[in-house]
């Protein structure tokens, strides 16, 4: 998809998630963290384009139909088969993943109408496509704000040192960075989420966010720190919960007019009261998702 003109551009993988649950037949559904974020943003009322790759096979047709149903703009299929993630859901609702991913990406020309670009997960770290993602972020910064969600899948990626170098490059370009506590523990062993968030702020990040599952989330900005409790929910599974939080975070920032390069200075002085409201909205989005099977992200009416 060259020349994306939507106000929000999400760049990253689209996968077929083949979900396995004890005692239930396997189910194939569209997935991939960036795809989930794009759909979540569209359901929350934003104009979204997803720059990704998928095949013309059955899984690719499933992804294309799902994106069209949710009003996410996406380009035509590619020659490669659609990537697949097998999601094995344990009795506690927590997923583990096995991947068969191809990530060759065409160059991205982000139009000046795009106010925000979101990247992350496999798409930001797996070559050869990751270099295209990095180039898009560097080019978009002049007109767009940038968010980056680590969402690291070590079993699919190059050695840790190479991953961490790429993570650092994206952090240095981002206005908003989100990671789970598991991401932080893997990428920054021996350091607390608070220490890592402080380092991100020192590197130029305006809003640093660490999600902690049932323990809520930690948001840090230049004006201070807020801790957001997890919204009360009866958990079916946690697939897509982090992506739902990310979509809610971006949407809440957009509601307050804080997306776009021209609002970068305002985002940098975000006060703690506003940060709390933004984090609470994102937590409510995640709570809706964990009450549902799979990555079924909320619409405004669900909140």
pLDDT digits (tens, 9 = 90+) for 79-128: 889 999 888 888 777 778 888 898 999 999 888 889 999 999 999 999 99
Structure confidence at residue 197 as a pLDDT band (50, 70, 90):
very high
Which pTM does this prediction carry? 0.93
For residues 114 and 118, give the distance between their C-alpha atoms in angstroms, rounded to a whole number.
11
Greater confidence, 109 or 135? 135
Pick 133 or 157 by higher pLDDT.
Answer: 133
pLDDT of residue 16: 93
- Give the pLDDT band of residue 185 (cuts 50, 70, 90): very high
Strand 83-89 with 95-100, pairing = antiparallel
Is residue 3 over pLDDT 60?
Answer: no
pLDDT tens per residue, range 37-63? 999 999 999 999 999 999 999 999 999
Question: Has residue 1 got a pLDDT over 50?
Answer: no
d(CA 115, CA 8): 6
* Sequence ranges of the domains in the chain: 8-302
Hey, what CATH topology would domain 8-302 get? Answer: 3.40.1190
Note whether 244 and 237 are within 8 A (CB): no
Distances (CA, A) of 100 to 31, 103, 137: 13, 10, 26
Q: Could you please report the per-residue DSSP string of 85-123?
A: EEEEE-TTS-EEEEEE---------B-TT--EEEEETHH
For residue 235, the model assigns a pLDDT of 85
Residue 5: per-residue pLDDT:
52
| Between 241 and 234, the higher pLDDT residue | 241
* CA separation, residue 204 to residues 39, 88, 139, 173 (Å): 28, 38, 17, 8
């Amino acid at each position: 998809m060259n020349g994306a003109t939507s106000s929000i551009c999400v760049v990253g993988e689209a996968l077929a998630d083949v979900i396995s649950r004890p005692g239930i037949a396997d189910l194939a559904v569209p997935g991939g963290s960036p795809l989930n974020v794009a759909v979540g943003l569209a359901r929350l009322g934003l104009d979204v384009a997803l720059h990704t790759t998928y095949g013309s096979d059955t899984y690719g047709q499933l992804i294309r139909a799902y994106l069209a149903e949710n009003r996410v703009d996406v380009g035509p299929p590619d020659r490669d088969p659609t990537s697949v993630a097998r999601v094995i859901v344990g009795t506690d609702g927590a997923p583990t993943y096995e991947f068969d991913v191809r990530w060759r990406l065409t160059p991205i020309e982000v139009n000046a109408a795009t106010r925000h670009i979101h990247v992350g997960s496999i798409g930001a770290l797996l070559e050869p496509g990751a270099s295209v993602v990095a180039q898009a972020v560097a080019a978009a910064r002049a007109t767009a704000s940038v968010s980056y969600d680590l969402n690291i899948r070590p079993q699919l990626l190059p050695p840790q040192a190479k991953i961490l170098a790429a993570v650092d490059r994206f952090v240095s370009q981002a206005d908003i960075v989100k990671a789970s506590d598991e991401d932080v523990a893997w990428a920054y062993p021996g350091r607390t989420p608070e220490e890592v968030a402080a380092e991100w702020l020192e590197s130029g990040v305006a809003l640093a966010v660490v999600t902690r599952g049932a323990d809520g989330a930690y948001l840090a900005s230049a004006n201070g720190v807020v801790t957001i409790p997890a919204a009360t929910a009866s958990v079916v599974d946690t697939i897509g919960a982090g992506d739902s939080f990310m979509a809610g975070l971006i949407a809440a920032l957009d509601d307050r007019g804080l997306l776009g390069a021209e609002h970068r200075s305002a985002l940098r002085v975000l006060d703690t009261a506003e940060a709390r409201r933004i984090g609470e909205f994102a937590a409510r989005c995640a709570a809706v998702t964990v009450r549902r099977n799979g990555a079924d992200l909320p619409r405004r009416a669900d909140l």
